[in-house]
Amino acid sequence: MHSKMVAMGVLIVTLGLLLPLLSGAVDIGRVREVAARNNVTCVLVFGDSSVDPGNNNVLPTFLKGNFLPYGKDFFNGLPTGRFSNGRLATDFIADALGYTKIIPAFLDTNLKLQDLPHGVSFASAGSGYDDLTANISSVLSLPRQLKYFLHYKVKLIKLVGQKKAEDIIRTAVLVLSMGTNDFVQNYYLDPTRPKQFSVEEYQNYLVSCMANGIQQMERIGATRLVVVGVPPLGCMPLVKTLMDVRACAENYNKVASSLGSRIEKKLEAITKTSRMKIGFVDAYGIIQNAINNPKLYDLAETSKGCCGTGAIEFGDSCRGLETCTDPAKYVYWDAVHPTEKMYKIIADKALETLSEALFV
């Protein structure tokens, strides 16, 4: 778990900061006041299935979540492509800021031009910092997501004019959430990268890919970014099943924790040489704390998912299966992805990062 405060706008969200949130939710009024004072226009999202609201629906990939039981607790109980029972952390962030209750997928065929100023997601389930990770599953790599960001800027200029479009992007909050698939879908399954890199070398390679992506965001005009760290991979029900362990697989967790530390260090360096203000959300610490102290969050089931047996099902293997009666008691919705309840907990911490790291 990361615990130190980092200068130059980089904040590690630590376990100790969770305590103010346990009594309820974030003070939405204060969040909106801070956002208005700092002219926050919208939320723009990059990443993997943790923040993909349905871009993969239109891609030629098997990694989709646009069928039940995904989305059963979403508005009207309809699946959207989100890999959860309801909303994602980025949806809760946008709702708290007061602009929209959900972040739409940029590739959604129903997306209207007038919705662009309120924020979109370019994220793609199965993606990662390494381009090979996305290529394995035929999804959008980070560079391709950034190309769509450029398309977004062009459309925005046509809609509101050059100056206003640049202002919207300059005062937007960008969210970057990926890294899980680089190991669970790539390094540990495909032989290519292990032949080229040791685990430590691969972590450094991922961090360099992240840094290149952040540079491109800045070139396009962004100035505010929240990076979400890698969750405890060894606690995912699927990983525990494959490793045949009951407790979290510590070797996977060590890799995730180490990658988070390297990301933290790189973000600190980036803020010293750029105009970007960057906050870091310690997803590893947040989820680990919920697993270790479930009663603090009114959770009951931390070892398996809500869909099917909860041990192996995710994506297409979850299609049409029975689910648990109360997902709000679960950390995981399927054998990989968190429930809406867990995403809300993560969103509350991200909102603290917005208030305390980006607007100082």
Residue 14 lies in a domain: no
Residue 296 lies in a domain: no
- Angle subtended at Cα 335 by Cα 334 and Cα 340, rounded to the nearest 5 degrees: 35
Residue 350 Cα to chain centre, angstroms: 10
Residue type, 88: L
Q: What is the pLDDT of residue 355?
A: 75
Cα–Cα distance measured from residue 168 to residue 154, given in angstroms and rounded to the nearest whole number: 12
pLDDT tens for each residue of 257-309: 999 999 999 999 999 999 999 999 999 999 999 999 999 999 999 999 999 99
Residue 109 lies in a domain: yes
pLDDT tens for each residue of 209-238: 999 999 999 999 999 999 999 999 999 999
3-state DSSP of 158-197: HHHCHHHHHHHHHHCEEEEECCHHHHHHHHCCCCHHHHHC
Number of domains in the chain: 1
pLDDT tens for each residue of 135-150: 999 999 999 999 999 9
Cα–Cα distance measured from residue 160 to residue 141, given in angstroms and rounded to the nearest whole number: 28
Cα–Cα distance measured from residue 38 to residue 25, given in angstroms and rounded to the nearest whole number: 22
Residue type, 323: T
Place of tokens 């979290």: 248
Write the CATH number for 137.
3.40.50
Residue 290 lies in a domain: no
Q: Does 10 score more than 70 pLDDT?
A: no
pLDDT higher at 265 or 39? 265
Q: What is the pLDDT of residue 28?
A: 83
Cα–Cα distance measured from residue 314 to residue 335, given in angstroms and rounded to the nearest whole number: 6
Q: What is the pLDDT of residue 25?
A: 58
Q: Which residues are catalytic?
A: 49, 334, 337
Cα–Cα distance measured from residue 175 to residue 157, given in angstroms and rounded to the nearest whole number: 22
First to last CA, the chain: 24
Mean per-residue pLDDT of the chain: 91
Residue 100 lies in a domain: yes
Residue type, 235: C
Residue 294 lies in a domain: no
Q: What is the pLDDT of residue 9?
A: 36
Q: What is the pLDDT of residue 17?
A: 28
Residue 310 lies in a domain: no
Question: What confidence tier does 350 reach under pLDDT thresholds 50, 70, 90?
Answer: confident
Residue 206 Cα to chain centre, angstroms: 16
Q: Once rounded to an integer, what is the mean pLDDT over residues 168-176?
A: 96
State which residues form the domain around 78: 28-235+249-283
pLDDT tens for each residue of 312-337: 999 999 999 999 999 999 999 999 99
Residue 295 lies in a domain: no
Cα–Cα distance measured from residue 234 to residue 286, given in angstroms and rounded to the nearest whole number: 14
Torsion of CA 121, 17, 353, 261, to 10 degrees: -80
Task: Look up the pTM and report it.
Answer: 0.92
Place of tokens 């004072």: 37
Beta strands in 79-222 (DSSP E): 119-121, 173-177
The residue length of the chain stands at 360
Q: What is the pLDDT of residue 360?
A: 60
pLDDT tens for each residue of 94-128: 999 888 999 999 999 999 999 999 999 999 999 99
Q: Does 19 score more than 80 pLDDT?
A: no
| Among the listed residues 297, 312, 354, the one whose alpha carbon sits nearest the alpha carbon of residue 98 | 354
